[in-house]
Structure 1
Amino acid sequence: MSNFEKDWQRKPTPGISENIQGLIKKAPPLKPQVENTIRVLNRPISKLDNTSNQLSQKEQKIFNKIVQAKQNGNIHAAKVFANELVQIRKTRSMIGNMKLSVERTQLRLSTINTIGDVIVSIKPAVSTMKAVVPVMNKIMPQASLELESMGNMLGDVVPGSISENYNFMDYGMSSQETESILQEAAAVAETQIGNKFPSIPNDSINTRTSIGSFKD
């Protein structure tokens, strides 16, 4: 059994020192630590999400005040509210980035947790196939070649150590599909923002200007 497998699903067993003095403690297995961290990260994600929603509601109210001030011709009030809206949007953007960072960390840990289970479950099959190949080579050479090929393939998929053979943190690679998804998401986001914060109709401004000129 590899060091990773031992660390991943280790069952704590008392040693001589623990039984006598209880002073030496073995490190807990990795899997429960990873799963616990994933659960713990749900709390800050939830808090950041609630804060973002509250700021979003406040943002909508301030924007409505700006629209009302513009309609009433109160330019000073509109500027004051606009400055406040800028600060709110900056804060909400910062909160969104923080939430994204925490969610990304949680996603990576989930990936590690999933692949860790796969490594532990498939590794015995790889060892068995490699042990059978020499015997099969004497009886059915062709079958042994196929088994050896499959064993090598699984051996490439299942690393002996996560830190040495698999880079879970490599998210920098881009692809055409990724760019397409990002463009689609940007289009949807732009549409939602347009629906959420509609611009002031030019007809209303022109009509109000015309009425003011007529009165003068």
Structure 2
Amino acid sequence: MGYIAKNWREVKNGILSQKFLDRVRPEARLKNKMYDAGKKMESQILRLEQTHTKLKQNYDHIFKKIVECKRNGNNENESRARTYAIELQEIKKAKNKIAEAKLAMEQIKLRLNTVSELGDIVVTLSPCMSLIKGLAPSISTLMPQMHTSMEDLTSMFSDMLTDSSLPQESMTPIYQGNTDTDAILQEAHNVIEGKTRTAMPEPPTTSLQHFSKEKESMI
């Protein structure tokens, strides 16, 4: 009897240990994947920041050219100023979109870093996945060289959602607005608007408007 009881205790302990491992391993795998996703996002954020810096430098350079053209004041320079102003608007749009994408990805990474429990992981991953899918097309359009890496990041989040045992119908196949994702995007937008208005001079709109009217009259 003692032998049987001893064997039973060993089998029982083995079953309990296996159940414990089955519960722990998925969470450990998830956290490892979240760490890898975080490192991937760090790389993306750095590339976005480098591109934003180059656009900012280009913006400042062209703005100085506009000032020089306006200072000289003849017709030829006025025409150049209008051309530069149009180019400057496009640079500003791209720069702001990249800055918004960078801030949004920083918010996602921050949320991943603060997750500690499996339940928190499940709740956090879904809106993050939605936001990543929403950012991917715009980032790929502005920076085609990041298309593959953004697809990889989307795939990593999809794998994490699968490992978290989140029901299939709860996964977001495409970007859809919700409270979490909209809050992140709005926060990023507000930061961009605030920084842009205080730190970035506006191109000469009078020349641009005048050029637009001339263009309309020619059509």
TM-score range (shorter-chain normalised) is: 0.3 to 0.5
> Which structure has more RCO (C-alpha within 8 Å, separation ≥ 6)?
2
**Which structure would you say has the larger Rg?**
1
Taking structure 1 as the reference length, what is the TM-score of the superposition?
A: 0.46
Query: When you count helix as a share of all residues, which structure comes out higher?
Result: 2
Taking structure 2 as the reference length, what is the TM-score of the superposition?
A: 0.46
